[in-house]
Amino acid sequence: MTTTTLEAPTEFKSWICLICGWIYNEAEGAPNDGLAPGTRWADVPADWRCPECDVSKEDFALSEF
């Protein structure tokens, strides 16, 4: 007999653009910009740009609040 251990789902996080303040919420995604709801920040393509000010992912920081 095998038992299956269910892992607790990881909380979705938000990332904020340090240039313009636009917030990317993993739960909501950015469907108008090609990111489906539930897309984790790590899965956002490296060449993705902020939809408000066109900076790269490197200009975003994890929002801790």
Residue pLDDT, tens place only, 35-54: 999 999 999 999 999 999 99
- Give mean pLDDT, residues 25-32: 97
Q: Where are the domains of the chain?
A: 14-63
- Give mean pLDDT, residues 19-46: 97
- CATH code given to domain 14-63: 2.20.28.10
- Closest by Cα among 32, 10, 21, 27 to 63: 21
Whole-model pTM? 0.81
